[in-house]
Amino acid sequence: MSLVTRCQVCATAFHVQRSQLAARGGKVRCGKCGTVFDGVAGLVEEGLESFQLEPSPQLGLFDPSRRSEPDEALPEFLLREDRQPRSPLLWGLLIFAAAALFAAQLGYRYRGEIAGFSPAASEVFAAACKPLRCNPSPPKRPDLMSIESSDLQADPRSESLIVLNAVLRNRATYAQEYPALELTLTDEAERPVVRRVLAPADYVGGSRSDQSLAAGAEASFRLTLDAGRTRATGYRLYLFFPR
């Protein structure tokens, strides 16, 4: 016989079978708000009167012999298991761990900039990087690094040789790594005919390539290159930091 039970939270009423109540010890889930409540305690008068005709109706609900047969379909709200709410302490720990991990990632990503602004932070990063085998490299801000002057000349010793002279300046208030340079030779129409990327080791040379350019400092260099059979009338020189 169909019974009527009412949700104790949203007051939605719906029909249930005795076998359905017995299948979950009287617990049902509201199809509207999702609340799990005692379906027996929520029985309304219409179903309650006929339900009380039997002796000990509460015992009858929990009698294993009266549970529904396996081929009798149950509503979805009776099949779903209750989900226990997560502990607020657990959520707090998870949020704290996520925030700490995010802060560590930001610190590692911008370790150079932070170390450039704070010498004390540089020592902290250096100590932290030892067990992690990372390198707290100086900052890389191409907008604060400029080519103050440059010129390209033919080398009188050979027709295939060219000499590049340039002066770099670090306009930042902290030391920066030497940038990479892109040299492009162009023809009369300013179309590129050959392009070459120069790493710091190519134009700085020696132990200086492992060092940084101090705040507000300038560095000049002279580099001889073999252009082969290329005949160029102009050039372009750019600086950048490889990713």
Judge if 222 and 177 occupy the same domain.
yes
What's 1's DSSP letter? -
With contact defined as beta carbons under 8 Å apart, do 222 and 163 qualify?
A: yes
- Burial profile 62-84: b = 16 or more Cβ within 10 angstroms, e = fewer: eeeeeebeeeeeeeebbeeeeee
Residue 234 and residue 146 share a domain: yes
CB-based contact 242:200 (threshold 8 Å)? no
List all residues 6 or more positions away from 211 whose beta carbon is below 8 Å from its beta carbon.
178
Distance CA 239, CA 147 (A): 8
pLDDT band at 58 (very low <50, low <70, confident <90, very high): very low
The 10 Å Cβ neighbour count of residue 88 is 8
Residue ending a domain, choose from 69, 104, 132: 132
Q: Two tokens at 177? A: 């790594």
192 part of a folded domain: yes
For the segment 106-158, what is each residue's pLDDT rounded down to a tens digit? 766 666 666 656 656 656 666 666 666 666 566 788 999 999 999 999 888 88
Question: Per residue in 27-38, pLDDT tens?
Answer: 888 878 888 888
For the chain, give the percent of residues with pLDDT over 70.
67
The pLDDT of residue 21 is 77
23 in a domain, yes or no? yes
Q: Which domain holds residue 102?
A: 88-132
Q: Does one domain contain both 178 and 205?
A: yes
Are 159 and 221 found together in one domain? yes
Least confident of 100-114, 143-157, 160-174, 186-200: 100-114
Q: Let me know whether 215 and 156 are in one domain.
A: yes
Are residues 233 and 175 part of one domain?
A: yes
Distance CA 140, CA 7 (A): 63
Domain shared by 173 and 224, yes or no:
yes
pLDDT score, position 104:
72
Tokens found for residue 146: 């400029």
Q: What is the residue type of 48?
A: L
pLDDT above 70: residue 5: yes
Domain boundary among 59, 79, 99: 79
Does some domain include residue 93? yes
The reply to whether 148 and 230 lie within a common domain is: yes
Residue 104 falls inside a structural domain? yes
Answer yes or no: do 34 and 111 share one domain.
no
Residue 85 CA to its chain's centroid (Å): 27
Residues 49 and 125 in one domain: no
Which of 140, 147, 145 minimizes the C-alpha distance to 165? Answer: 147
Give the count of domains, the chain.
3
- pLDDT value for 160: 85
Confidence tier at 60 by pLDDT (50, 70, 90): very low
Distances (CA, A) of 176 to 125, 146, 242: 16, 12, 14
CB 107 within 8 A of CB 126: no
pLDDT for 89 equals 82
Q: What is the CATH number of the domain that holds 232?
A: 2.70.50.60
Q: Could you tell me the two tokens for 186?
A: 């162009």
